[in-house]
Amino acid sequence: MRVLVTGGAGFIGSHVVDALVQEGHDVAVVDDLSMGKRAQVHSSARLYRVDIRERQALEEVFRAERPELVNHHAAQGNLRRSMAEPSFDASVNILGSLNLIELSLAYHVRKFIDISSGGAVYGEPQRLPVDELHPIQPMSAYGVSKYSVEQYLRLFDGSGLDYTILRYANVYGPRQDPAGEAGVVAIFSRQMLAGERPTIFGDGTKTRDYVYVDDIVAANLLVMTEEQAAGRIYNLGLGCEVSDAWIFELVRKAVGATVEPILASKRPGEIDRICLDASRAKAELGWEPMISLEEGIARSVASYRGQARRCGGEMG
């Protein structure tokens, strides 16, 4: 299958590209490299350095590649920046996504996989774990923009473009950029490996749901061909509340550090608690996470440690 992956030079997108290539698909990548890295793009995938807001350049990619499936990972993913610059957030996440949807319709793309956010679109939960029928009450511009794209896809339902929406929990694993949103495992790991004291925003009791990147990749592959996934939304997470303090402890154990955290004020736009009910994905796709939090963090720390050695010496 001819697949176009947006954001395919980034953390999650590059792992998806790797898996698609290994499955024998013909893969092209669109990424402006503002966060992604050229070195992370599989050598068998074609990379177009294009901003999804650039309609003409994006159309040239569609004209050249004629994708059958679009896997849309490109995004402005920083919650804090979305609150400080909501117009910028909307320009990337809403207008950029609309460019992709419109071009997918024009070039008769069969399937559009949209990556949304479980933590951002639901807002402060009324019940836990949060299922896909939970009320939508985003508390950030990022959450608003992500949900807006979901609504646009529903608007075009029946137009011939099959779509599936994946609402991720906090994804972590090798290649995660500590400068990115939801990168707490990467941030804590790299700081502890460097002998630094990580900062926890709040008192450590704030909770999130986490899922290892390999499990996320598996879900992306499943929805490509699963007919039951058409027009469906799937939460993807472990289904467990995990506190910032516990993530800190697991990373500290994996690193072998004894450092204590710095506590700072909670950041605006952040919810206090969240975990996702992924039972729909299990029932309809046969998907469930296979990597435990402890194993995933150990793998992540090992990756960052190895990267530090390759870049000029042990970080701790």
SS3 of residue 249 by DSSP? helix
DSSP state of 92: I
What is the Cα–Cα distance from 76 to 34, expressed in whole angstroms? 10
Task: Report how far apart, in Å, the C-alpha atoms of 144 and of each of 79, 119, 204, 276 are.
Answer: 11, 12, 26, 18
Q: Three-class SS of residue 104?
A: helix
Q: Provide the token pair at 24.
A: 């024998």
In sign, the C-alpha dihedral spanning 315, 15, 113, 36 is positive
163 is an active site residue: no
Q: Using alpha carbons, list the distances in angstroms from residue 78 to 19, 270, 287.
A: 26, 11, 28
Q: Identity (one letter) of the amino acid at 106?
A: A
3-state SS class at 13: helix
What is the spatial distance between Cα 270 and Cα 267, in angstroms, rounded to a whole number? 6
Catalytic residue among 48, 122, 142, 168: 142
Contacts of 313 (CB under 8 A, 6+ apart): none
> How far, in Å, CA of 62 to CA of 81, rounded?
30
Pair of tokens at residue 279: 């039972």
What residues act catalytically?
A: 142
